[in-house]
Structure 1
Amino acid sequence: MLNPLTDKIFDIILTKKVWQVHILASELINCGAVKSLDENPQRDLFKRNFLIMNALYQLQEQLLPQILLISTLHIELLEKSVTNPISHRTSLRDYYLDWQNYDTSTQEVDALLNDFWGQFEREYTKPTLTQEDYHALTSKWQLPNNYTLKELQKCWRQQALKHHPDKPDGCAIKFKQIKEEYEQLKNTAR
């Protein structure tokens, strides 16, 4: 079954390389492509996300899997092909391509949302820094022991400008690493 949002989502994702599902959903709502789908707010959210993810996976099949990367929180339209980008998320892909899952009960939606937030917390919540890691990072970043958020932000901006992938000498891997370090150091700033 063809999803009525597929063409609209394709038009939208062409405007920017990287998207998140909630931002894509906002764009679809703002342009009037998605209206309320259920009286129950949880089921409305579920159905909206189902239609978006279904359309994305249909697009992925149409564009060749090497071009559209899809995960729960990250959608990226690649200009070059990559090797096997959908390897470990086939169950999620299969779920959203099965139209029988669209009309899910309120209890199942609640269970899915609880499972999602549990996975999100496990995957995206960074552990706190050990004393040893803290001292290693503050030394690497040339920060004083009791640095302020303002001092950290200044240091971060300098590092970001130096290593940003869009810069001639930039490096995406190094940029990602310093971004993660910055996020960790933000939690300990005064």
Structure 2
Amino acid sequence: MQSALFFFEVGSLSQNLSLFQTHFILFHALYRLNQLGHETQTFNIEIHVLSIQLNVISANSTTEPSCYLESDGLRDYYLDWNNFDKTDSADVASLLSQFWQKYNKNALYTPQLVEQAQAYFEFDTTPTMKELKAKYRHKSLEYHPDKGGTTERFSELLNHYKVMKNAITKL
């Protein structure tokens, strides 16, 4: 395993994959630290997208930290190193696209994402809807799980198709 310092060197946050890896390591460490606080019943860390807060548990407190009373999919995700190891650049692009689609529909269609989708479909310029649909049909025959493809590749195809379709309709 590589040293965590590698991910914090100058320039390590300039690529989406290394940014994801750095974020993953940070959140993995926070959740591990939170486990320690829970096990020792001395503190808990509230970990949210926009804030991280340390809560010290007093010696006479009888309540368990609330973060361990319920299922936490994010905690499970960040504590599983397989998620770090198996995530590649395409996965990160898909995760980012899904994130922006969920939290800010307009940001899904940033120039960078449109450029990536255009390259994915091998267009030099913005295509017509007819050209996009033809490329989409061709790739869907190859990537669809029922045709021998995988769910991941087909999901990536759908994400790129949505980005291009929106870019074309906004012209």
- Normalization by structure 2: what TM-score? 0.44
